[in-house]
Amino acid sequence: MLDNIERFDMKEPPRRQKLRWIGYLKALPVLWSHHGKIRKINMKGIKPPYLLLANHNALMDVDILNLAIFPHRVNYVIAIDGFIGREKLLRNVGGICKRKFTNDINLIRHLRTVVKNGDIIQIFAEARYSLCGTNAIIPESLAKLAKLLNVPVVFLKMHGHHINSPYWNLHNRKIKGIEAELECIINQEQISTLTHQEVNKIIQKSYVYDDFAWQKEKGVQVKYKGRAEGLHKVLYQCPHCGTEYEMDSKDNILFCKHCGKKWEYSTLGELKATKGKTEFSHIPDWYEWEREQVRKEVEAGKYRFESVVHVDALPNADKFIRLGQGKLIHDLNGFHLEGYYKENNEHYSLDIPAIDTYSVHIEYEYLGEFGDCVDLNTLKDTLYVYPECEKFAVTKISLATEEIYKLIAKK
C-alpha cells in the first residue's frame, strides 16, 4: 500500500536544539497568565545529559517543560502528526519522530546520540494526553531504556493542565495557580546500581497523579459555562442504567439520553446528580468503573468491536492521504483493518496482535472533520481510523486494548 510514497526518514540523526530562546520566550506568558510555579527538588548538581520524563495533559506541558529546564538543550520525542507541515522546524528545535506504540530500534540509536551530545532526552511516556487527568499505562520497557542510557532520570510532574484544557474539550479555561515539580528521581549512581525492576518501581510511582484531586485540594474554580461539554466522550456509559453510548453533555450538565439521569459538573470539578444518588462524584472513579466493565467483557471473551471506517494515512510529514472506506475489527486477537485504496482499488490489510500493543492512541473530534478516531501504527505508516457506525466510543476501544493486553500478558 502506498509503495510509491516516500516515508518519513526515521533514520536521520537528531539535531542539537537551535532557537531555544524562542521556546523560552514563548513559554513565559503561559506561566505568567496562569500564575504558575515551578519547584526544583533534588536537582542540585544534576546537569545534562539526563532522561526527562513528564506527565502529559495539554499543549502547555511543553511550555512549562521548557521553562523548567532552561537554558539547557533538549531533544523531544514527538509523534509524527506533530511534524505535519513543519518537519524542518521541529527537527531544528530538537524533535525526534516516533510512531506511537511501536518498538523502533532507530529511536534507541537517536537517544544514545543525544546522550553523547550531552543534552536532555525528553519523553512523554504516556504517549498521549490524559483522558481524565490521571496517569496512563507506562510500559516496563521504559525502565530498561533508562538503564540502557545510563544517565540520571528526572521527572516533571505538572498539575492543573488537564483542568485548564482537558483532552475532551480543549477550551482554555484560564485557571490560575498551576504548579510543577522538577525532581531527580534516580541519580547517576543509582541508575548504575539499581535493577531495572527497581528503576521501574520508582518511575511507575512518579507517574501517579490526579488533576481533579489536585483541583479540589487547591480550591481551583473553573467558571467556564461549558465546562462539562465533551465529558461524555470519556464517560460514555451511564452508571445508573448501564447503557453505553447514550451519554451527552451541555453547558455544565452531563446526562444520559436513555434513562434521563443528569449530573451537574461543579466549578470544583465534582459531579453531583440533580436527582437521586450520585454514583461517582470524582470523574476518574467513573472512568475506572468503565474500565472494570470492559475488563469483565474481556475476561468473559465477549468483547468485540466491528465497524465500517474511514481511513487516513500519514506515511510522512507532508499531509494525510485519504485511503477511503475500510472495515475495522477489534477483539481479543487485536486489531484487524482492511479496505481498498480508493485511488487505484488496491487492497490493503493491517493486523496488530493484541500482545504487541499495550495501549492505543485515540482522538476526539480529530481535525473537526470525521469525528473520533483510533490511531494505528506500524514502523512505516500511521493510520487514522474513524468508525462510521452510529454508536461507539473510542474510549472503550482504548480501555479494551489495555485490558486485553493485561489478560494475555498475565497468561
Could you tell me which CATH number the domain at 305-410 has?
2.30.29.30
* Residue 81 grid cell: 502528526
As averages over each run of 10 residues, the pLDDT of the chain (411 residues) reads 80 90 90 98 97 97 96 94 90 93 92 97 95 95 96 98 97 97 97 96 98 98 97 98 98 98 98 97 98 98 97 92 95 96 88 95 88 94 95 98 95 81
Q: What is the C-alpha to C-alpha distance for residues 275 and 281, in angstroms, rounded to an integer?
A: 13
Q: What is the C-alpha to C-alpha distance for residues 128 and 167, in angstroms, rounded to an integer?
A: 10
pTM of the model: 0.95
pLDDT given at position 195: 96
Alpha-carbon torsion, ordered 384, 386, 392, 395, to 10 deg: 20
Alpha-carbon torsion, ordered 122, 127, 172, 238, to 10 deg: -150
Q: Where are the beta strands (DSSP E) in 28-176?
A: 37-41, 50-54, 74-79, 95-98, 120-123, 153-159
pLDDT given at position 1: 59
Query: Contact, 138 vs 204, CB < 8 A?
Result: yes
| pLDDT, tens digit, 9 for 90 and up, residues 375-403 | 999 999 999 999 999 999 999 999 999 99
- Closest to 225 measured CA to CA, from 169, 280, 178, 180: 169
pLDDT given at position 346: 87
pLDDT given at position 260: 97
Backbone angles phi, psi at 59, to 5 degrees: -60, -30
Region(s) of the chain under CATH 2.30.29.30: 305-410
Q: What is the C-alpha to C-alpha distance for residues 337 and 331, in angstroms, rounded to an integer?
A: 12
The single-letter code of the amino acid at 128 is R
* Residue 402 grid cell: 489495555
Q: Which residue has the cell 545534562?
A: 48
pLDDT given at position 21: 83
